[in-house]
Structure 1
Amino acid sequence: MNYLTLSDLSTKLGGRSRSSIYRDIEAGRLPLPIKFGRRLYWAEADVDRAIQAFVKGSE
Protein backbone atom coordinates (compact mmCIF):
# COMPACT_ATOMS: atom_id res chain seq x y z
CA MET A 1 0.00 0.00 0.00
CA ASN A 2 1.29 3.44 -0.91
CA TYR A 3 0.99 6.42 1.39
CA LEU A 4 0.94 10.08 0.42
CA THR A 5 2.39 13.00 2.34
CA LEU A 6 0.49 16.29 2.41
CA SER A 7 2.74 17.54 -0.39
CA ASP A 8 2.04 14.41 -2.47
CA LEU A 9 -1.70 14.75 -1.82
CA SER A 10 -1.67 18.39 -2.85
CA THR A 11 0.09 17.50 -6.10
CA LYS A 12 -2.33 14.64 -6.79
CA LEU A 13 -5.25 17.04 -6.28
CA GLY A 14 -3.89 19.56 -8.76
CA GLY A 15 -2.04 21.82 -6.33
CA ARG A 16 -4.79 22.29 -3.72
CA SER A 17 -3.72 24.27 -0.70
CA ARG A 18 -3.29 22.79 2.76
CA SER A 19 -6.35 24.64 4.06
CA SER A 20 -8.49 23.43 1.14
CA ILE A 21 -7.41 19.85 1.77
CA TYR A 22 -8.34 20.10 5.45
CA ARG A 23 -11.72 21.63 4.51
CA ASP A 24 -12.30 18.65 2.19
CA ILE A 25 -11.43 16.26 5.03
CA GLU A 26 -13.80 18.06 7.39
CA ALA A 27 -16.59 17.91 4.79
CA GLY A 28 -15.99 14.17 4.26
CA ARG A 29 -14.75 14.54 0.67
CA LEU A 30 -11.31 13.16 1.54
CA PRO A 31 -10.34 10.40 3.99
CA LEU A 32 -8.81 11.11 7.37
CA PRO A 33 -5.00 10.97 7.50
CA ILE A 34 -3.03 8.29 9.32
CA LYS A 35 -0.50 9.54 11.84
CA PHE A 36 2.93 7.86 11.90
CA GLY A 37 5.06 9.51 14.53
CA ARG A 38 4.73 13.24 14.00
CA ARG A 39 3.78 13.05 10.31
CA LEU A 40 0.45 12.57 8.57
CA TYR A 41 -0.06 10.27 5.61
CA TRP A 42 -3.02 9.33 3.43
CA ALA A 43 -3.54 5.87 1.97
CA GLU A 44 -3.39 6.44 -1.78
CA ALA A 45 -6.08 3.82 -2.46
CA ASP A 46 -8.49 5.65 -0.10
CA VAL A 47 -7.74 8.96 -1.80
CA ASP A 48 -8.31 7.41 -5.23
CA ARG A 49 -11.70 6.04 -4.09
CA ALA A 50 -12.69 9.46 -2.74
CA ILE A 51 -11.74 11.10 -6.04
CA GLN A 52 -13.74 8.51 -8.01
CA ALA A 53 -16.78 9.00 -5.76
CA PHE A 54 -16.57 12.75 -6.28
CA VAL A 55 -16.27 12.37 -10.05
CA LYS A 56 -19.24 9.97 -10.20
CA GLY A 57 -21.31 12.32 -8.05
CA SER A 58 -20.51 15.22 -10.39
CA GLU A 59 -21.80 13.48 -13.51
Structure 2
Amino acid sequence: MTKRLPPGTPAPASGQYGLIGPRGGNTGQERTATRGEPLPPTPKPGMGYVMNDPTKNGSGRSK
Protein backbone atom coordinates (compact mmCIF):
# COMPACT_ATOMS: atom_id res chain seq x y z
CA MET A 1 0.00 0.00 0.00
CA THR A 2 1.13 3.53 -0.74
CA LYS A 3 2.09 5.74 2.18
CA ARG A 4 -0.60 8.22 3.21
CA LEU A 5 0.65 11.82 3.28
CA PRO A 6 -0.91 14.28 5.75
CA PRO A 7 -2.02 17.75 4.60
CA GLY A 8 0.72 20.39 4.73
CA THR A 9 3.45 17.88 3.81
CA PRO A 10 5.60 18.98 0.84
CA ALA A 11 4.55 16.97 -2.22
CA PRO A 12 7.31 14.47 -3.14
CA ALA A 13 6.37 14.68 -6.85
CA SER A 14 4.05 16.72 -9.07
CA GLY A 15 0.75 15.12 -10.06
CA GLN A 16 -2.73 14.15 -8.95
CA TYR A 17 -3.17 13.12 -5.31
CA GLY A 18 -6.25 11.21 -4.22
CA LEU A 19 -8.00 12.00 -0.94
CA ILE A 20 -8.12 9.10 1.52
CA GLY A 21 -10.69 9.06 4.30
CA PRO A 22 -9.90 8.75 8.01
CA ARG A 23 -10.45 4.96 7.93
CA GLY A 24 -8.44 4.45 4.74
CA GLY A 25 -11.19 4.44 2.12
CA ASN A 26 -10.89 6.19 -1.23
CA THR A 27 -13.16 9.26 -1.45
CA GLY A 28 -12.98 9.53 -5.25
CA GLN A 29 -11.66 13.11 -5.05
CA GLU A 30 -8.31 14.33 -6.34
CA ARG A 31 -6.16 17.40 -5.85
CA THR A 32 -3.30 18.62 -8.04
CA ALA A 33 -0.01 19.31 -6.29
CA THR A 34 3.38 20.59 -7.44
CA ARG A 35 6.58 18.99 -6.18
CA GLY A 36 7.88 20.76 -3.07
CA GLU A 37 4.66 22.69 -2.42
CA PRO A 38 2.56 21.76 0.67
CA LEU A 39 -0.44 19.51 0.12
CA PRO A 40 -3.72 21.42 0.62
CA PRO A 41 -5.93 21.10 3.71
CA THR A 42 -8.44 18.24 3.76
CA PRO A 43 -12.20 18.66 4.25
CA LYS A 44 -12.23 16.58 7.47
CA PRO A 45 -9.67 15.76 10.17
CA GLY A 46 -7.80 12.46 9.78
CA MET A 47 -7.85 12.47 5.98
CA GLY A 48 -4.69 12.24 3.88
CA TYR A 49 -3.35 11.95 0.34
CA VAL A 50 -1.86 9.24 -1.87
CA MET A 51 -0.26 9.69 -5.31
CA ASN A 52 -2.71 8.65 -8.06
CA ASP A 53 -1.22 9.97 -11.28
CA PRO A 54 2.29 11.48 -11.49
CA THR A 55 2.98 14.24 -14.01
CA LYS A 56 4.52 12.86 -17.21
CA ASN A 57 5.88 16.04 -18.83
CA GLY A 58 9.38 15.86 -17.28
CA SER A 59 9.38 19.38 -15.86
CA GLY A 60 11.10 19.68 -12.52
CA ARG A 61 13.30 16.62 -12.98
CA SER A 62 16.98 17.06 -12.42
CA LYS A 63 19.19 16.36 -15.43
TM-score band, normalised by shorter chain: 0.3 to 0.5
- Return the index of the structure with the highest Cα Rg: 2
- TM superposition score normalised by structure 1: 0.37
- TM superposition score normalised by structure 2: 0.36
Question: Which structure shows the bigger proportion of residues in strand conformation?
Answer: 2
